[in-house]
Amino acid sequence: MGTGCRTRYPIVLVHGLLGFVRLPGHSYWNGIDTALRRQGAEVYPVRLSGVHDNEALGAQLLERIAAIRTASGARRVNLLGHSQGGLSARYAAALRPDWVASVTTVATPNQGSEVADRLRDLLPPSGRRERLLARGFEGLARLMERLECAERGLSLPLDGAASLLALTSEGMAGFNARYPQGLPERWGGEGAGEVDGVRYYSWSGILQTRIDAAPGLDPGHVLCHQLARCFAREAGQNDGLVGRFSSHLGWVIRSDYPFDHLDVVNRCWGRRVGAVRPLGVFLEHLVRLAEAGL
């Protein structure tokens, strides 16, 4: 095991919407956690509710951080959150900055997702169609929970309707007013790199216009292309679910990697994503955190 990239504090990986740690034959982080450990990092992928609002997920994350602090003896942790997981991490850092050394959001809709906005337009609040969609998401999340190989038997609360609202531009405007740490002051800019002793970083990708593999080989990539049609403000500047500039937080490492929303966590299904590899981006960030004394 390498030690040259060992961080001072443990790495906590936080999944996004409909996330998990490990299903039979498949890991959410698809080798990222293993690769970080090989470099000497202490890594904890955590499981939160599959669908819920940002505050509820953040409160669950705080409970996980408390347990990790006890188990590891570390005073603080480095949070890396994919998609909605980045919002859970932001909440945790805002409430307990003394527990968090850094927050890194990866393809996170820090200003809301135009896909969620489109769904909200099509599904009026408390309407029948919204209830059906919410129940469908909750059912899928509960099924995945039963298949979960990590922490078997752990049942967490679900709220599909709250999850949808939390990811809209409107929902994120309220969230950002309460927890503004690291947000840019202008659209497309960078935010403060450090707030209350917590370092803030972000990165994301842009969906490539060419599907360079047969659709059946990477259904997630095809889905991202379909969802990209929901974008107007960031048309052509999104990963299929999150806009490039909406993802900006703190020090923006890069927001135009050639990754779709699933590529960014190494789920490329064997498809080429360019010279830059998602796993390499995580390993570079591990060095960055270590060099910063985090």
Confidence category of residue 38, pLDDT binned at 50, 70, 90: very high
Domain ranges of the chain: 11-291
How remote is the C-alpha of 127 from its chain's centroid? 28
Residue type, 112: G
Q: What 3-state DSSP class applies to 216?
A: helix
Average pLDDT, the chain: 91
How remote is the C-alpha of 254 from its chain's centroid? 15
Alpha-carbon distance of 166 to 84, in angstroms, equals 9
Q: b/e for 10-19, b at 16 or more Cβ within 10 A?
A: bbbbbbbbbb
Report pLDDT for 42: 96
Confidence category of residue 5, pLDDT binned at 50, 70, 90: confident
Q: Cβ–Cβ contacts within 10 Å for residue 180, how many?
A: 14
**What number is the average pLDDT over the span 55-60?**
97
Which residues are known catalytic residues? 83, 239, 261
**What number is the average pLDDT over the span 196-219?**
79
Report pLDDT for 62: 98
Tell me the per-residue pLDDT of 153-190, one tens digit each, with 9 for 90 and over: 788 999 988 999 999 999 999 999 999 999 999 999 99
pLDDT for 81 beyond 90: yes
* Strand blocks (E) in the chain: 11-14, 22-23, 26-27, 43-46, 77-82, 100-106, 194-195, 198-205, 251-257
Report pLDDT for 2: 47
pLDDT for 214 beyond 50: no
Tell me the per-residue pLDDT of 226-282, one tens digit each, with 9 for 90 and over: 999 999 999 999 999 999 999 999 999 999 999 999 999 988 766 666 678 899 999
In which residue are the tokens 């390499």 written?
A: 280
**What number is the average pLDDT over the span 210-225?**
69
* Residue 288: closest CA among 206, 199, 204: 199
Distance of CA 100 to CAs 16, 23, 61, 262, 278, Å? 19, 28, 11, 26, 24
Q: Which fold has domain 11-291?
A: Rossmann fold (3.40.50)
